Structure 1
Amino acid sequence: MNTQKVAVVTGAAGSIGMAVCLQLQKQGYQVVAIDKNKQGLSELQDRAANQMAVYVCDLLDPEEISQTMDSITQAFQRVDLIVNNAAIGPSMNSVLDTSAKEFENTFEVNWLASVELVQKALKFMTHEYASIINISSGAGLQSNPKRNAYSASKAAVISLTKSLACELAEKKIRVNAIAPGYIKTEMVAALEQDNKLDLDAIRKRIPMGRLGRPSEIANVVSFLASERAEYITGSVVTVDGGYATFNQIGDACEAKVIRADEEELHPAPQIGPRVVVITGAARGIGRATAAAFAAQGDLLAMLDYDAASVEQLKQDFGSQHLAMQVDITDEAQINSAFEQIKQYFGRVDVMVNNAAIADVFGPVEQQSLSGLRRIMATNVTGSFSCAREAIKLMPEQGGAIVNFGSINTHLPFAPRHAYGASKAAIEMITRCMAAELGQKGIRVLTVCPGYIRTPGVEELERTNSIDTPKINRRIPLGHLGKPDNIANAVLFLASDQASYMNGSTLFVDGGWSSFGNAGDASVQAA
Structure 2
Amino acid sequence: MFTLPLNATYCVTGGTSGIGLEIARLLLQSSPPCRVLIVARRSKELEMTVAMLAQECEDPDRILGAIADVSTPSGRSAVSSAVNAAFDGVLTGLINNVGCNVRKQALEQTEGEYDAMVQTNMSSTYFLSKLLSPYLFKQAKEDVSNGSVVVNVSSMAGVYSSGTGAVYGMTKAAVNSLTRSLACEWSKFGVRVNCVAPWMTVTPMLEEAVKKDPSALDKVKEWTPMGRLALPEEAAGPVVFLCTKASGFMTGTVLNVDGGLGAQGFDGPCC
> TM-score category by the smaller chain?
0.7 to 0.9
**In structure 1, how many angstroms separate the alpha carbons of the residues matched to 2:106 and 2:266?**
26
Matched to 1:219, the amino acid is G
Choose from 14, 24, 27 the match for 2:27.
Answer: 24
Residue 14, structure 1, aligned to residue 17, structure 2: yes
Whether the aligned pair in 2 keeps the contact of 1:129 and 1:227 (CA below 8 Å) is no
In the comparison of the two structures, how many residue pairs are matched? Answer: 247
Residue 34, structure 1, aligned to residue 33, structure 2: no
Choose from 95, 112, 125 the match for 1:114.
Answer: 125
Q: TM-score, normalised by structure 2?
A: 0.85
Choose from 76, 84, 102 the match for 2:96.
Answer: 84
Residue 134, structure 1, aligned to residue 152, structure 2: yes
Deviation at 1:247, TM superposition (A): 4.1
Deviation at 1:222, TM superposition (A): 1.6
Relative to structure 1, the CA distance from residue 54 to residue 172 in structure 2 (aligned partners, 3 Å threshold; closer, same or farther) is: same
* Rg larger in structure: 1
Matched to 2:20, the amino acid is G
Q: TM-score, normalised by structure 1?
A: 0.45
Relative to structure 1, the CA distance from residue 81 to residue 105 in structure 2 (aligned partners, 3 Å threshold; closer, same or farther) is: same
1:314-325 matches, cutoff 5 A: none
Alpha-carbon displacement from aligned partner over 1:303-347 (angstroms, at most 9, x marks no partner): xxxxxxxxxxxxxxxxxxxxxxxxxxxxxxxxxxxxxxxxxxxxx
Relative to structure 1, the CA distance from residue 71 to residue 154 in structure 2 (aligned partners, 3 Å threshold; closer, same or farther) is: same
Residue 45, structure 1, aligned to residue 50, structure 2: yes
Whether the aligned pair in 2 keeps the contact of 1:70 and 1:120 (CA below 8 Å) is no
Whether the aligned pair in 2 keeps the contact of 1:32 and 1:55 (CA below 8 Å) is yes
SS in 2 for 1:179: strand
Relative to structure 1, the CA distance from residue 115 to residue 243 in structure 2 (aligned partners, 3 Å threshold; closer, same or farther) is: same
Whether the aligned pair in 1 keeps the contact of 2:27 and 2:240 (CA below 8 Å) is yes
1:399-418 matches, cutoff 5 A: none
Matched to 2:50, the amino acid is Q
1:173-212 matches, cutoff 5 A: 173-195=191-213, 198-212=216-230
Q: Pick 1 or 2: higher relative contact order, CA cutoff 8 A, min separation 6.
A: 2
Residue of structure 2 in register with 1:470 after alignment: none
1:470-485 matches, cutoff 5 A: none
Residue of structure 1 in register with 2:174 after alignment: 156
Residue of structure 2 in register with 1:102 after alignment: 113
Residue 213, structure 1, aligned to residue 224, structure 2: no
Whether the aligned pair in 1 keeps the contact of 2:160 and 2:266 (CA below 8 Å) is no
Deviation at 1:33, TM superposition (A): 0.2
Alpha-carbon displacement from aligned partner over 1:176-201 (angstroms, at most 9, x marks no partner): 00000011111111122132761222
SS in 2 for 1:204: helix
1:219-238 matches, cutoff 5 A: 219-238=237-256
**In structure 2, how many angstroms separate the alpha carbons of the residues matched to 1:248 and 1:163?**
26
1:344-363 matches, cutoff 5 A: none
Deviation at 1:203, TM superposition (A): 1.4
Relative to structure 1, the CA distance from residue 95 to residue 31 in structure 2 (aligned partners, 3 Å threshold; closer, same or farther) is: same
Unaligned runs of 5+ in 1: 251-526
TM-align CA RMSD:
1.9
Relative to structure 1, the CA distance from residue 196 to residue 219 in structure 2 (aligned partners, 3 Å threshold; closer, same or farther) is: same
**In structure 2, how many angstroms separate the alpha carbons of the residues matched to 1:84 and 1:197?**
30
Whether the aligned pair in 2 keeps the contact of 1:16 and 1:214 (CA below 8 Å) is yes
Alpha-carbon displacement from aligned partner over 1:404-451 (angstroms, at most 9, x marks no partner): xxxxxxxxxxxxxxxxxxxxxxxxxxxxxxxxxxxxxxxxxxxxxxxx
Relative to structure 1, the CA distance from residue 146 to residue 247 in structure 2 (aligned partners, 3 Å threshold; closer, same or farther) is: closer
**In structure 2, how many angstroms separate the alpha carbons of the residues matched to 1:138 and 1:240?**
7
Matched to 1:203, the amino acid is K
**In structure 1, how many angstroms separate the alpha carbons of the residues matched to 2:82 and 2:264?**
46
Whether the aligned pair in 1 keeps the contact of 2:66 and 2:82 (CA below 8 Å) is no
1:359-398 matches, cutoff 5 A: none
Relative to structure 1, the CA distance from residue 117 to residue 193 in structure 2 (aligned partners, 3 Å threshold; closer, same or farther) is: same
Deviation at 1:151, TM superposition (A): 0.6
Relative to structure 1, the CA distance from residue 176 to residue 101 in structure 2 (aligned partners, 3 Å threshold; closer, same or farther) is: same
Matched to 1:162, the amino acid is R
**In structure 1, how many angstroms separate the alpha carbons of the residues matched to 2:218 and 2:127?**
39
